[in-house]
Chain A
Amino acid sequence: MSILLLHARYQFLETIRVPIAILGTLLFPPLFMLLFVVSNPAVGNHPTAATFAAGQMAFFAIVSAYMFNLGAGVAEDRARPWQSYVRTLPAGPVNELGGRLLNAVALALLSLIPVTLVAALLTEAHASVGQLAGALVALVLGGLPLLLLGLAVGYALPLKAAVPVVQLLLFPMAFAGGLFLPPRMFPAWLDALSQALPTRAGRDLVVGTLTGAPTAATSVLVVLGWTLVCAGAAVFAYRRDEGRRFR
């Protein structure tokens, strides 16, 4: 376990030593908050609407941290000879993978800070401590399908392809999942499609715990289903990569 934490610590150090790489993850969610919520009094000054918007944007922060850090990070690791060296050290490959995942979760939690500050200081969004704690759990767990999808992309594609593919997957799913605009503004067909997406289901769980709004039970099932599908894809891509480089 201590070796796993060692890997996580140095992964994290490496990540934060290139500030520009994590700037997007930290900056875009609060920037979107400023553009779409703070500058729009109808939402920003409306407690419920502002809380919904903050929950959506916090979830976007989480999934984008997961997908970029793992999609690009794993693809980059695979391209480096350093990883082959690390594999000759007396520690199993599980330590490196575990370290990567811990690093991604740490970054995701870090990315919540700016967006939460903007919501708390510049909008009428509000939530109790209990609601915030519940939302934190919903954010981390609701994002699991996207974490696994990022891992799958990182193991399946070279770095040059991984970054655009993450963008192509993340932004349409974030939009259609209601992370930028609330789903009640969607046309009926998009709302129907949206129900099947992991981003929508995760978003519903997050805003549900954050505001106490009723959440459909199917949201949990959708997140679980996508978790299984994406876990399958990640395991497949991981094994294929292992087979190519370390068998």
Chain B
Amino acid sequence: MTTHHARALSATRDFDGVRALDAVDLDVGAGQLVGLLGPNGAGKTTLLNLLTGLRRPTSGRVELFGGDPREAGNRRRLGVTPQQTGVPETLRVGEIVDFVGRHYANPAPVGDVLERFGLEGLERRQSGGLSGGQQRRLAVALTFVGRPDLVVLDEPTAGLDVEARHVLWEALREYHREGGTMLLTSHYMEEVEALAQRVVVIGGGRVLADGDPDDIRARVGTHTVGFRAETPPPDLPGITRREHDGNRVRLLTGDSDRLVRDLVASGTEFHDLEVTTASLEEAFMSLTSGDEPTRRES
């Protein structure tokens, strides 16, 4: 039997009559690494707020380690990332880590935490004096101070440069290797692919897809193939969305190599070919625009 570290059961949440989350079912089992993807306003943050006890569902239920997340006792094995901008500016790095650690039964030593996230030597620096990247790393480090069994990371690497992002990924992977469970959101498709074993796509307050990254990648358009053509191309396999603007054609697909080969084979006259990685927003358009074939039966 799987033990659920976090679970939503038909969780619905309304804000002033507007439905932010619509009967969402989600379970995060022990040891899983789950990436939550979705455009802004999809309901990701609302879902995380329910699971971490900040909000309560309008109907349905959420569980954290089998209990109500709003009870402090059920959050003892939970670690959450604060928003980087919110860390108290006048407190020193070591003080902030100490403050958070003292909420937990068996916190990691301050020095260990700082070293793991590349913050050694900054213990006595006021957090307001850190660089943006250091503040971001401090925020993520706080998630792990209490040696949690489940961490919830909302956009952990937003605003970090590539190198810092990879250092952070390595720390997250290490946590997972040691048996940790992780639920993270990200704007970067690449990040979710690099870290998550399971991807849950949310749009319009609903779970649109839930599967392993390859499965999801195949179903959302991850690349755009753009070109000019006087006659529109035929309906080729793998196109998840198409846009026409005059003679400019943009096709969204999970497999651009195959699409280009098929396009050439179809004999379509085209020029100005360009293949780009789709933005996450674009990628999700193919799932959220309501094309029934891409939606999983639940």
Contacts and interface: CB of A to CB of B under 8 A. Distances in A.
Nearest to A82: B86
Contacts of B80: 85, 88-89
A1 interface: no
A90 B86 contact: no
Interface stretch (A13-21, A124-132, A147-155): A13-21
B52 interface: yes
B55 interface: yes
Given A17-B126, A92-B72, 9 more contacts: A13-B91, A17-B90, A18-B90, A81-B85, A85-B86, A88-B80, A90-B76, A90-B146, A91-B103
Interface stretch (B24-32, B94-102, B270-278): B94-102
Contacts of B99: 6, 10
B78 A88 contact: yes
A6 B103 CA distance: 9
A85 B76 CA distance: 14
- 4 closest A-B pairs by beta carbon, nearest first, are A81-B86, A85-B82, A17-B90, A82-B86
What does DSSP make chain B's interface, helix, strand, loop or mixed? loop
Contact of A247 (B56, B73, B86): B56
Given A85-B80, A90-B76, A14 B53 contact: no
A10 B56 contact: no
Nearest to B73: A90
Contacts of A92: 72
12 contacts: A6-B102, A10-B99, A13-B90, A81-B85, A88-B54, A89-B75, A89-B80, A90-B75, A90-B78, A90-B104, A90-B146, A246-B55
Nearest to B79: A88
A246 B91 contact: no
Interface residues of B, number: 29
Contact of B91 (A14, A88, A247): A14
A85 B91 contact: no
Interface of A: 2-3, 6, 10, 13-14, 17-18, 80-85, 87-92, 246-247
Interface of B: 52-56, 72-73, 75-76, 78, 80-83, 85-88, 90-91, 95, 99-100, 102-104, 126, 142, 146
A110 to B, nearest CB: 17
A82 B87 contact: yes
Nearest to B74: A90
Contacts of B72: 90-92
A2 B104 CA distance: 12
B103 A10 contact: no
A90 B75 CA distance: 5
Q: Which of A2, A3, A18, A82 has the most CB of B within 10 A?
A: A82
Nearest to A16: B90
Contacts of B100: 89
Contact of A81 (B78, B83, B102, B126): B83
A88 to B, nearest CB: 4
A121 to B, nearest CB: 32
A10 B98 CA distance: 10
A13 B102 contact: no
A12 to B, nearest CB: 11
Nearest to A3: B103
A34 to B, nearest CB: 30
Contacts of A87: 53-54
Nearest to B90: A17
A92 B70 CA distance: 9
A247 B99 CA distance: 25
A85 B78 contact: no
A6 B91 CA distance: 14
B102 A3 contact: yes
Contacts of B86: 80-85
A10 B55 contact: no
Contact of A14 (B54, B55, B82, B90): B90
Contacts of B102: 2-3, 6
